[in-house]
Amino acid sequence: KATRIAIIPGDGIGKEVMEEAIKVLGYIEEYDSTLQIEVKIFPWSSDYYLKHGQMMPDDALETLAQYNAILFGAIGDARVPDDVTVWELIMPIRKQFQQYVNFRPIKSLPGISSPLANGGDIDFVIFRENAEGEYSNSGGRIYNNQPQEMTIQNTVMTRIGIEKIVRAACDYAHKNHKTKITSSTKSNAIIHSMKFWDEHTKKTLAKTSPKLQLESIYIDALVAYFVERPQDFEVVVASNLFGDILSDLGSAIVGGLGLSPSANINPEREYPSMFEPVHGSAPDIAGKGIANPIAQIWSLALLFGHIGRPDVEELIVTAIEKVLREGIVKTADIGGRATTKEMGNAICEAIVAM
């Protein structure tokens, strides 16, 4: 039975880097003829919004539910407010399909120098809670345009939500022979939600993985440690907001957004998971054909790992590493002059050569 992949390129460089990922997919099918893949491309984006008044059709989630996985590019366009693009496209997919794990590997790559003087041999992963937390639409504002104008934005944390993300991090730690979980917190100042986070993180670990060491670090200190001693981390677990910030920082210390993939996972596999680069639509370079496609192609690799083909994941990652190690073809963000297409082609050639 064919594996069905839904592809949403989105806006800006999302469309450009997705073309390269689709090219890689073609080569993968040639590499392994037993692999049956059925792909459909959905044009849901800001352009779609400007035409139809919504980011995606009413039955979009029902349509996506029929796929095994979703490969997503990026969205964001100056003509549509950012909260509309995010809340009408990415958020509904993450929430509907209970993709409560946002998994982001942070790994030093050959041929890529870190902006940190001590930036070698970094290798950890971030498990960001992806379904609740600070990114809620609960709250509001009153007294608009009056002196007493005010707003409240609520954080929603549930015991089950925390247990699930911590359990997913522990499962990963066991499977990958890791010994330590680092939890990011701010329970000294955010005394309701973050104390609750600490309490249930600790309880979950004690119950499911008593052998794993748990360290809990305040987010403000943790960002400094990411810079000062990034080699000390193995598995970092974080709330939605903290995980978002930590993963962009993590991405920066190993070479930047152009290289960083992510996975929005529903571990129970009741629904499709979604794979996307950490970066956005990069309006500053969109249309120039110079975006780095590696984050997108690596996200495709994570997709294969998730659908039970770790061999294909390894093949793609090895090809990326080979091209970077040779250092001949590099896009501008990593110090070269190659175009998006040239970078994509180099990775395809590396796959063919293996």
**Binding interface with ligand NAI (CB under 6 A):** 13, 17, 74-76, 82, 90, 257-258, 276, 279-285, 291-292, 295, 333
Which residue has the closest beta carbon to Mg ion? 244
Distance in Å, CB of 326 to Mg ion, minimum:
30
Q: Are 21 and 297 in contact (CB under 8 A)?
A: yes
Neighbours of 98 (CB within 10 A): 18
| CA–CA dist 293, 354 (Å, integer) | 20
Distance in Å, CB of 152 to ligand NAI, minimum:
23
35 versus 245: smaller Cβ distance to Mg ion:
245
209 versus 260: smaller Cβ distance to Mg ion:
260
130 versus 182: smaller Cβ distance to ligand NAI:
130
| CA–CA dist 168, 236 (Å, integer) | 11
Distance in Å, CB of 82 to ligand NAI, minimum:
4
Q: Which of 244, 276, 313, 342 binds Mg ion (CB under 5 A)?
A: 244
217 versus 245: smaller Cβ distance to Mg ion:
245
What are phi and psi for residue 91, nearest 5 degrees? -60, -50
234 versus 244: smaller Cβ distance to Mg ion:
244
Residue 292 binds which of Mg ion, ligand NAI, none (CB < 5-8 A, kind-dependent)? ligand NAI
The DSSP symbol for 98 reads: T
Q: Can you state the percent helix, strand and coil of the chain, rounding each to 5?
A: 45, 20, 35
Between the two ends of the chain, the Cα-to-Cα distance in Å is: 26
What are phi and psi for residue 82, nearest 5 degrees? -60, -35
Distance in Å, CB of 38 to ligand NAI, minimum:
24
Contacting positions for Mg ion (CB under 5 A)? 244
